[in-house]
Amino acid sequence: MSHEWITVLGATGSIGVSTLDVLARHVDRYSVFALTGHSRMAVLEAQCQQHRPVFAVVADAAQAAELQPRLAAAGVPTRVLHGSEALADVAADQRVQVVMAAIVGAAGLAPTLAAVRAGKRVLLANKEALVMSGALFMQAVSQSGAQLLPIDSEHNAIFQCMPQNYGAGLGKVGVRRILLTASGGPFRDYALEDLAGVTPAQACAHPNWSMGQKISVDSASMMNKGLELIEACWLFDARPEQVEVVVHPQSVVHSLVDYVDGSVLAQLGNPDMRTPIAHALAWPERIDSGVSALDLLRTARLDFQAPDPLRFPCLSLARQAFDAGGTACAILNAANEVAVQAFLGGRIGFTDIPVIIEHTLNCLPPERVEELPQVMLADQQAREQAETWLVKRV
């Protein structure tokens, strides 16, 4: 068994905390090289005390000036760095073998790409990074020889159900379709007319998963499934029509792969992100994740339904953006990030989210992408456009 050094980008978030929970069960196997966090400094401090990383990376100099002496006083040898360059540095450092990419949103793109370009084993939770820069991201993976392992529970499930050589193309390896499951979120059964009045607290109360605020709102609007559809197309080199979204309220079947001979392989488990995290950490081996065994008799039922396009317009917006190509997915993602923040801040209603995204996509025609600055520019322009909508409401 090899010993590996890991950097956890976004250590203080939901995925970061679950990652450290798994790592703590396997201290003989993994050492923590760096932990990063943008807020919740008390959590980061406690994590540094427990895992004693070489580096911690925070947002700015003020946070660093507060954290560094506290760690020193506690006898923790961790050096505190700050800023976006430091994020990329700890992701690409030559002493690191594994990088958990668990920053939320576009902010994670640069450090995740730095890890990819440095040829690391990259555990990808930060789906927004891949959605924004799809073709460039996958090109960087193949050029550097990085190994990309999906953490998103659905994509991790698909990865587990795929044949080893799926990179040859789905048709060549006998895969007919990918069945991407979705819980349907907290508003699956709400009357359409009640959706306009739902609160951020209701949107964040996911029935099966406990997650960060942004992905919780995305799950409620099903933009999460839209982003995941795009993610699946890039990760598994699939066409969007080869990916079918199936609503499965129990979140026990994490996704399925349908083969041409009629076999359908599924991965099941309790809804706990430590399972995909442990899978990707140890792959191709298996390690304990702390997740209890699935009790099928208690689960009793597995239900499946088609998604309702009227209730969840974000799903078709994502399909349209992927079909449009170029910068469209970066625009979709940026407009969604602005809209979700505005909803969480009480500035707009829940049903304004798809309106803002559609408006932004209509205002900014997609452009071809050859280099990363084009993606960053589209991201910036989409944020400005979406902000304009927030101010003018048209």
- Binding-site positions for 1-deoxy-D-xylulose 5-phosphate read 127, 153-154, 183, 206, 219, 224-225, 228
Q: Is 226 in the site for ligand NAD (CB under 6 A)?
A: no
- Residue pointed to by tokens 């979140």: 251
Q: Is 352 in the site for Mg ion (CB under 5 A)?
A: no
Partner interacting with residue 273 (select from Mg ion, ligand NAD, none; CB below 5-8 Å by kind): ligand NAD
Selected binder of ligand NAD within 190, 209, 259, 283 (CB under 6 A): 209
Report helix, strand or coil for 56: strand
Whole-Å CA distances, 353 to 21, 34, 245 = 34, 35, 21
Selected binder of ligand NAD within 32, 136, 273, 317 (CB under 6 A): 273
Give binding residues as ranges: 12-15, 126-128, 152-154, 183, 206, 212, 219, 224-225, 228
Q: Is 152 in the site for Mg ion (CB under 5 A)?
A: yes
Closer residue to ligand NAD in complex, CB, 90/161? 90
**CA–CA separation, 119 vs 141, rounded Å?**
8
Closer residue to ligand NAD in complex, CB, 103/359? 103
Q: Are strands 98-101 and 79-82 parallel, antiparallel or unpaired?
A: unpaired
* 282-295 b/e (C-beta count within 10 Å ≥ 16 → b): bbeeeeebebeeee
Residue type (1 letter), 312: F
Tokens found for residue 376: 């960053």
Q: Are strands 264-268 and 253-259 parallel, antiparallel or unpaired?
A: antiparallel
Strand-by-strand arrangement of the 30-36 sheet: 79-82, 55-58, 30-36, 4-9, 98-101, 121-124, 147-150
Residues 15 to 74 in contact with ligand NAD, rule: CB under 6 A: 15-16, 37-39
Closer residue to ligand NAD in complex, CB, 251/385? 251
The least distance separating Mg ion from the CB of residue 273, rounded to whole angstroms, comes to 9
Residues 115 to 154 in contact with ligand NAD, rule: CB under 6 A: 125-128, 152
Return residues touching ligand NAD (CB under 6 A).
10-16, 37-39, 102-104, 107, 125-128, 152, 209, 211-212, 214-215, 273
